[in-house]
Amino acid sequence: YPISPKYHTLEYLREHAHLRSRTNVIGAVTRVRHCLSTAIHRFFHERGFYWIHTPIITSSDCEGAGQMLRVTTLDLAKVPLKPDGKVDFNQEFFGREAFLTVSGQLNVESYCEALTKVYTFGPTFRAENSNTSRHLAEFWMVEPEIAFADLKDNAKLAADMIRYLAKIVIEERQDDMEFFAERIDKDCIKRLEHIIASEFVYMEYGDAITHLQRAKKKFEFPVRWGLDLQSEHERYLTEELINAPVILMNYPKEIKSFYMRINDDGKTVAAMDVLVPGIGEIIGGSQREERYDVISARMDELGLDKEIYKWYLDLRRYGTVPHAGFGLGLERMIMYVTGIQNIRDTIPFPRTSRHADY
């Protein structure tokens, strides 16, 4: 039952998400989404990875940013309190605070120690009040983890996966890609062919800052060492400076998470971001800090509650090896492949701040 032949904007269709699957555009997006999802599993299966089902409900904040959606069974009209006036979370269903996961990384690391090559792929949640075309409160993320690996091994796996996904979607969804080239983004097929044929360029964070500061282009956001890069900076590097995918490496530790391995200079961590033309960052990852004393000191430095992360520290305490991993947001990949400009049009029922219909 297709929707009325009258033209409807994607903005209008978002208000009727339960019916928009009947349109040509959303139908094509859905088929590409299915193609990419199955291709992700095939990519890892062909390379001997094991799919680990990590929990949706967690007590750990992987990113340490506190932007988590709470899970509660407490009566909000009569919240139990301790004598000091704080909420008595012992009365919760789980006997403690619980949240929707922001990442399966910490959990999948525990299986990496045993099975060497693993990945998780499922929904993740962020309570970010970011009303932009690139953010969702609920999205799907694939997160591989590889043992006996450093940052360069991690970067190679990420580049191989991006090329593989681009190749599969061109081969298996040719009709849909031709539709997108005609209706949404005339360069979408050329863009995928370009990334398949391109060498990914490795660049140090410090070198990227130097290039940006020397650029004649005027940026909206400031550029200096120690600041995270914005989308405009990422796109300049990959579209104007290099004209190819870029893998930025070794970021200042102050702007990255506690679990990332501190480099010998003591100032940077072995972190990476994969930037692609047309969208900027599409993958973020790192070599993990495997040294117990170093990660313990880092958690103290950031004021993290070690009791919550005791099980994660045990992974180091009881023996570990160098390991690394990354995360790819499925919806960001769909945007890159199709040329769809708003991430809310890449998922069947988008969840954003103040929007949780259906």
**Strand ranges for 126-257 from DSSP E:** 138-147, 201-204, 246-252
| Pairwise CA distance, residues 197 & 199, whole Å | 7
Render each residue's pLDDT in the chain as its tens digit; 358 residues: 667 777 788 888 888 889 899 999 999 999 999 999 999 999 999 999 999 999 999 988 766 555 899 999 999 999 999 999 999 999 999 999 999 999 999 999 999 999 999 999 999 999 988 778 888 999 999 999 999 999 999 999 999 999 999 999 999 999 999 999 999 999 999 999 999 999 999 999 999 999 999 998 999 999 999 999 999 999 999 999 999 999 999 999 999 999 999 999 999 999 999 999 888 999 999 999 999 999 999 999 999 999 989 999 999 999 999 999 999 999 999 999 999 999 999 999 999 988 898 8
**CA-closest candidate to residue 119, choices 141, 137, 138, 98:** 141
Name the CATH topology of 10-67+102-345: BirA Bifunctional Protein; domain 2 (3.30.930)
Tell how strand 201-204 and strand 70-71 pair up.
unpaired
pTM: 0.93
Q: Parse the chain into domains and list their residue ranges.
A: 10-67+102-345, 68-100
| Pairwise CA distance, residues 45 & 259, whole Å | 27
